[in-house]
Structure formats: structure tokens, C-alpha cells
Amino acid sequence: MNNSVLPSATQAASDLAIDARLLTKVYSSRISRRRVRAVDGISLQVAAGITFGLLGPNGAGKTTFVKMLLSAVRPTSGSVCLFGRDANDASARRPVGYLPENHRFPTYLTGSGMLDFYGALSGMESSARRRRIPELLALTGLDNWGSVRIGKYSKGMLQRLGLAQALMHQPSLLILDEPTDGVDPVGRRQIREILTELERRGVTIFINSHQLAEVELFCREVAILERGRLALSGAVKDLTVGKGFKLTAVRVPDPVRAQLNESATAVWSSDGVVGFQFADRAAVNRAIDLLRAATCEIQSLEPAASTLEDVFVRTIHG
Amino acid sequence: MDRQERITLLALIADTFREALARKIFWGLFGLSTLIILFFLFLMKIDVAQGALATLSLFGQTSGRQVDAARLVRQFQAGIATFLYTWGMFLSAFASAGLVPSVLEPGRIELLISKPVARWKILLGRYAGNVLLIGLNAAYLVLGVWLILGAKTGIWITGFLWTIASTTFVFAVLLSVVLLIGVLFESAALAIMVTAGLMILSPLLAQTRLMDRLLSSGWTRWLWTAFYNCLPKIYDLGHMTLDVVQGNPAWNWFAVWSSALFAILMLGLGMVVFARRDY
């Protein structure tokens, strides 16, 4: 990867890349007078330079929230600042690169033409655009596709071109809506590598995604939305700290196993290794005493960790 | 307007041209103009005798009688101006109607709005690109015909060149309606219907003196006059251009400024609606 192509964070106006306060969006039907609170009083702060994941089931208000960050949707109440500037001010979006979810890039443009157009809309000089386009096409693996009309691109290629478009003007904040949607595993890895390098350079990355495993792998902080409200937010490492301990042992006699089954929260076995999960330290210590008394060999002992998926399901379904 | 704003505006104008090219609108309009120019270039022959009298040949057939060359040129030019004002305008509005809703398509508009460009500028760039496209086409056709007729007859009537400005102006007025309808309803079909409606209504509304006599009640006369005053005066502007082409300039400034005001209002309203809408 040619790292010199990637932007570095230069925005220092505020420590917060995103500062949303009591953001609310109510959609009203003119005919039925029905009102839907798509986003309901969300306050969310994203520090500059971190990778942040926005999660939530369908209809949780994620897309509306992202659109309010970009002023595509006007909040009913509340405010959004990007690097300390009101998001309604067009110039506040200058340091922002955005990749929408269901994008529809103009199919009459070539890959290079599209990058040139969106680069110009970001205020880039033509000489800078000419220099940057081949660099970004190479970075996203599209170097042989620049002169091809994007109507001929596959979904994964469009996604990579979309990412190149978002990086065109060297943004300090990247807002990516399902960035790896439709991308093959190799391309997904490539995108992850690009994003990891961007994070290293201090670029704030805000990802709206359904790919929980990817968000867990990549984001340092997450927020989970449910029915328009902020259900949970925090650092991934704190949220995924599980309760209890995992213990594995070999040569566990059946009576001991039966006895441990009663106190364990989960039991599994594979190739003669039996695993137990215990809810607390006292329970795992009692189990160790029992196993050692029965001359069983303890193979491993570690704190149990939840996956982000566990956290997500627990948050949404209680 | 600072340098970055100029870059943005130029990009939006260029994008309108690229989309018009891709949709074959550009080639369609320029192809039609080229056909007309080729007709004057190859199929129509004018022999000017004694500097003023001419015989006309079409498709190799000579008319036989001699006509005043200047009058003949003016008649041709008036024909082109009439064509531009009627079919030309309708074709242009028809061709351009899709260029506004296409920008508002979901998946495209969010990305445009996310750029550091005020919304009204996005719309203005699209509008300016469209007007420029049709203006260039009008200039190509009018200049082409003017040069050919001038070269063939030696008669150079500059009044005909006003047709470029006046047709571009009328198109700009009509496009403001297309733009407003496009922003409000995101429907190219409705935009065409309303524009065609305005074009059909205009010659009817312009008969104010006749209607003054025909309409019996005061309020219907008032309503007719109000409609005439408020709506763009496409018929009057066309009439004015024909007068100029035929060498009898009778400037109707009321038609010019009231139509311009109408366009500014439509454009402003379109920008306000666009600025407030959620995408």
C-alpha cells in the first residue's frame, strides 16, 4: 500500500470530530398526520482520531442520524457540530469524506471522471485532482479501470471507487455507510488495511455497518441505536469484557463432570478436552479444587469475553 | 465568488454537459441543428442578380420568379426564429426536463449534498449548465444559418442574431419552471406538461384586447389580465424577436422584465424548497 496517498488528520479546531447534541428527527405524514420519531434525542460525541462504529437493527435510525451529520436531513431539534463547526454550514463539511450506503454514482462518468467531479465539488484545484486520481485508483486496486465507464463496474468495484471518492480531498473525518457491502473477502481486507492506515494517521473514521465482526475488529468505540434512541455506547474492549471465566481440562471423569455441570453456565467438549464457563471467581476456584482433587489436568483458564454480536443481541433483545 | 466556488460551479456545469452527452440530448439537439444548417448549405440555392433580386432553388427546382433578396433572407430567418420559439423550445424543455430529477435520485443527491457546497449552488450549477447547453445550440444554429445566408446572398442582417439571446432567455424562463417542478415533485413528465401548458397558454393570454371585448364580467377580465401579467410572455417575446428579425424592432420591455421576474421567482422558490428538503 502506498501510504503517502492517504490523508493525515489536519483539523485541530476541536477535539471532537462529531458532536451531536439531543438530535431528534420526526417525520410527519401530511396526509395521515402520522408522526414517526426516527431519531429521538441522541447525544453522541466522537473524539477526533478514533474509529467509531454505529450499530443498530434495521429502522433504528442509523441512516437518518448519519444524514443529519451531513445535513442531508434537517434535524427537528438538536444540533450537530463537525470539528466544532455547525454541520449546516457547508464549509463544515470540507474535512468530511462520505461513502453513502445505496450510492448511485452517475453511470455516464468514468472512474477517473467521477473522482475528478467529486474532487472539484470538494474545491480541489485541477492540478491536485490530476495528481491524486491515479494514486487513489492504484490504492483501491482500480488502476486499470480509470478510463472505463462506471456503468460497467461490479458492486465491489463501485464500493472501492466510492471509498476513493471519499478520500479524494484528504478528509480528516470519513463517514462510511456499509463500506464493505458487496466487496469480496480480498477487497474487504484491502479496505480494512486502508482504513487501519488512515486510523494510524489520525483520521477519524465513523462506520455505519451491519457487519458486527468487522466493526469489532476495526472500531475502538461503538454506539448501538434502537428505535431512534442511543441504547449503548462505549469502548469495544469494555463492552466485550464478558462475565466469568472459561476453564478447559482433560481426562475429566464423568462424576466430576456431572458435578461441575451443575455450577457451570456452559459446558462443551471436543477431542477429550472439556470446557466449562463459570459465572464468577468463587465458582471457578471450586471447580479447580475439584478437578485437581480428581487428578485432572487443567489446560487453560481465561476470563470469558463476549463478542460484539453478544453485546448487540443482549442490548436489542434484553 | 471565490476560486473554490468557481471550481465547484464549473464542475456542476461540466457535469450537466457530460450527462446531456451521455443521454444523447446534446447530440440530438446539435444533430437537428446541423440538419437545418446542411439544408441551407447544400439544398437551397439562391442566385442574386443585380445585387437585389434573387431566384431560389430548392432540391434542384427553381422557383422561376425573382424576389427581393433581402426580403427572402429575412423570411428564412424569421422561419428559423419561429421554429426555435415553438418546436425548438418544446424540444429543449423536453430534453432538459430529466436533467433536474436525475440529480435528485436517492443515492446520488446525498453524496452531492455531503460536499462543501451550499445546496442552492448545486441547483444553480445544474440550471446554468442547462441554459448554456441550449444557448450554445441556439448560437450554433442561428450563426450557422446567418453565415450561410450571408455568404450566399451577401446580405448580412444582424437583427437575426438577437434570436440567440432571446431564445436562450425564453428557455431560461421555461427551465426555471422545469426546475421548480423537478424539485417539488421529482417528475420529468410533470415538468414537461407544465412547460408545454405555459407555451400553449401564452399566445392565448396575450390576446388581452380581444378578451377585453369578449369577456363580459369585470372579474374575469381582471383574472385574465392577472394571469397574463404574472405568467411568462413567451408569445410576446417571440413576436418581438420576429419584429427585430424583420427589421421593425418594437421592444416590449414589459414582456422582458416581467418574464425575467417570473424566472427569478421560480428559481428562488426552487432553491428555497431544495434547501429545506430532506434527502
State the residue for C-alpha cell 442490548: A315
Domain limits of chain B? 3-276
- Predicted pLDDT of residue A13: 56
| Residues A306, A166 share a domain | no
A36 interfaces chain B, CB cutoff of 8 Å? no
What is the distance between the alpha carbons of residues B211 and A302, in angstroms, rounded to a whole number?
A: 94
Q: Which three cell numbers stand for residue A205?
A: 473514521
**Confidence band for B44, pLDDT divided at 50, 70 and 90:** confident
| Residues A98, A123 share a domain | yes
| Residues A160, A19 share a domain | yes
| Residues A283, A221 share a domain | no
The answer to whether the Cβ–Cβ distance between B11 and A120 falls below 8 Å is yes
The answer to whether the Cβ–Cβ distance between B7 and A126 falls below 8 Å is yes
Looking only at the bridges linking them, the beta strands covering A173-177 and A204-208 are: parallel
- Predicted pLDDT of residue A2: 56
Q: Which three cell numbers stand for residue A206?
A: 465513523
* Structural domain of A41: 3-238
The answer to whether the Cβ–Cβ distance between B11 and A121 falls below 8 Å is yes
Residue where one domain finishes, among candidates A189, A207, A238: A238
- Predicted pLDDT of residue B54: 66
One digit per residue, the tens of pLDDT, for chain A of length 318 reads 555 667 766 555 578 999 999 999 999 877 777 889 999 999 999 999 999 999 999 889 999 999 999 999 999 999 999 999 999 999 999 999 999 988 999 999 999 999 999 999 999 999 999 999 999 999 999 999 999 999 999 988 999 999 999 999 999 999 999 888 888 888 888 888 899 999 998 999 999 988 888 898 889 999 999 999 999 999 998 888 777 888 999 989 989 998 998 888 888 888 889 999 888 889 999 999 999 999 999 999 988 877 888 888 888 876
Cα–Cα distances in Å, from B123 out to A17, A167, A191, B13, B248? 29, 25, 33, 10, 38
pLDDT tens per residue, range B260-270:
999 999 999 99
| Residues A133, A213 share a domain | yes
- What is the three-class DSSP state of A77? strand
| CATH (domain of A256) | 3.30.70.980
- Predicted pLDDT of residue A187: 83
Task: Provide the chain B residues 118-137 that lie in CB contact (below 8 A) with chain A.
Answer: 118
Among B114, B119, B184, B185, pick the best mutation site for testing chain A contact (most A Cβ within 10 A).
B114
- Predicted pLDDT of residue A247: 93
Strand stretches in chain A, DSSP E: 16-28, 35-47, 51-55, 77-82, 85-86, 96-99, 173-177, 204-208, 221-226, 229-235, 241-250, 266-270, 273-278, 297-305
Terminal Cα distance for chain A, rounded? 43
Position B226 pLDDT exceeds 80 = yes
- Predicted pLDDT of residue A10: 59
Domain total of chain A: 2
Position B69 pLDDT exceeds 80 = no
Position B142 pLDDT exceeds 90 = yes
Q: Which three cell numbers stand for residue A316?
A: 436489542
**Pick from B23, B116, B278: which is nearest to A90 by CB?**
B116
Quote the minimal CA–CA distance from A74 to chain B in Å: 6
Which run of H or of E encompasses B272? helix B253-276
pLDDT tens per residue, range B82-138:
998 888 888 888 888 888 888 888 889 999 999 999 999 999 999 999 999 999 999
| Residues A148, A54 share a domain | yes
| Residues A300, A230 share a domain | no
pLDDT tens per residue, range B21-43:
888 888 888 999 999 999 888 87
Position B16 pLDDT exceeds 60 = yes
| Residues A133, A37 share a domain | yes
Residue where one domain finishes, among candidates A238, A254, A279: A238
| Residues A252, A150 share a domain | no
- Judged on CB neighbours under 10 Å (0-12, 13-18, 19+), B201 is middle
| CATH (domain of A36) | 3.40.50.300
A vs B: CB pairs below 8 A:
87
Residue where one domain finishes, among candidates A194, A217, A238: A238
Cα A221 → chain centroid: 8
- Predicted pLDDT of residue B52: 61
Residues of A in contact with B19 (CB under 8 A): 106, 108
| Residues A79, A216 share a domain | yes
What is the distance between the alpha carbons of residues A84 and A80, in angstroms, rounded to a whole number?
A: 9
| Residues A184, A69 share a domain | yes
What is the distance between the alpha carbons of residues A141 and A1, in angstroms, rounded to a whole number?
A: 10
Quote the minimal CA–CA distance from B190 to chain A in Å: 21
| Residues A244, A234 share a domain | no
> Are B177 and B97 within 8 A, CB to CB?
no
Half-sphere exposure of B257 (CA within 13 A, CB side): 4
